[in-house]
Amino acid sequence: MNAVQVDRFCHEALLYAGQEEFLKGVVPFLRQGLAADEAIMVVAASESIAALQEALGEQAEQVHFADMADIGRNPARILPHWQNFVDEHVGVGRRARGVGEPIWPGRTSDEVIECQVHERLLNVAFARGGPWRLLCPYDVESLAPEVVQEARRSHPMVTTSGLRETSPPFLPSQHSMAELDRALPEPTGPVARLGYEHGLDTLASVRKFVADEAQRLGLAEEGVKCLVLATNELVTNSLRHGPGEGTVRLWREDGAMVCEVRDRGHFSPAPLVGRQRPNIEQVGGRGLWLANQLCDLVQIRAEEEGTVVRLHML
């Protein structure tokens, strides 16, 4: 892999097959950064981190490693992690590069879609920032072909078998995210439901309903507390900014507890809402930010009938 100088954010995909190709693509990328005294962070699976540390030897001490299973359990938490890294280094004039592998074979289909949203939003978040490179590896042997094809659409540069080139299917930042805004399927099992509307005891009733149902369905105590708080924030937003009424539903699916808040309001959030820490002057967005910090997955969909937000707790 030849040395590359960039004058803006460069988002690249590495398409590899197996660990040997992974190391051949990533290790030279890291060593180039080390030779240039760049700040470097790798966010990947623990097995990948161990392999990279062994390959780098003593140089590994100069790289910051973080386990993607911790950082990116909820894909919406990955972008703020990169933002902190960029602010700390690129924001003070230093060059930087990173490696991030958000999608692995164990991801659920819901998680994969939110990871794909994350990959596209990186191009929005860093479009006007300082120069740095982010390499995102994709294992073509273990990932579905459509996942690999989407990587080509979300990364302007792609490296395959050592060849780095522009990606013809790449969709620019201004392209609509609509094709990833897929309708959410209906639950397959029993569902508990509570309607809500403006009233003195509305939020208390919602909190009790969520706590009781989550406990009944076997969610651990800490998870119940987080789910209640996140739901309370969403219903508060619905009452304050929406039509003043809606529905909360809870059910179990694929080993996760799912809580849905649905109303007839039409919410068109800024692309990065819930994925960037709200500033002091910001109006709105805090509820979704908090939900992403508390829950393992958050899905937001704008439908013809209104807005749907689903909270997942594993």
**pLDDT, tens digit, for every residue of 36-83?**
999 999 999 999 999 999 999 999 999 999 999 999 999 999 999 999
**169 vs 163: CA distance, rounded Å:** 17
Are 165 and 152 spatial neighbours (Cβ–Cβ below 8 Å)? no
Structure tokens at 314: 């594993």
Contact criterion met (CB below 8 Å) for 99 and 56: no
Q: What are the tokens at 149?
A: 């094809």
Q: Is the pLDDT of residue 178 over 70?
A: no
Q: Is the pLDDT of residue 283 over 60?
A: no
pLDDT of residue 272: 86
User: pLDDT-based confidence at 279, cuts 50/70/90?
Assistant: confident
According to the model, what pLDDT value does residue 295 have? 98
Provide the β-strand partners of residue 42. 65, 99
- Three-state helix/strand/coil letters over the chain: CCCCCCCCEEEEEEEECHHHHHHHHHHHHHHHHHHCCCEEEEEECHHHHHHHHHHHHHHHHHCEEEEHHHHCCCHHHHHHHHHHHHHHHHHHCCCEEEEECCCCCCCCHHHHHHHHHHHHHHHHHCCCCCCEEEEEEEECCCCCHHHHHHHHHHCCEEEECCEEEECCCCCCCCCCCHHHCCCCCCCCCCCEEEEEECCCCHHHHHHHHHHHHHHHCCCCHHHHHHHHHHHHHHHHHHHHHCCCEEEEEEEEECCEEEEEEEECCCCCCCCCCCCCCCCCCCCCCHHHHHHHHHCCEEEEEEECCEEEEEEEEC
pLDDT at 228 over 90: yes
Residues facing 59 on adjacent strands = none
* pLDDT, tens digit (0-9, with 9 covering 90-100), for 229-267: 999 999 999 998 888 999 999 999 988 999 999 999 876
Dist. CA 189–CA 255, nearest whole Å: 12
Question: What domains, with CATH codes, occur in the chain?
Answer: 9-169 (3.40.50.300), 192-313 (3.30.565.10)
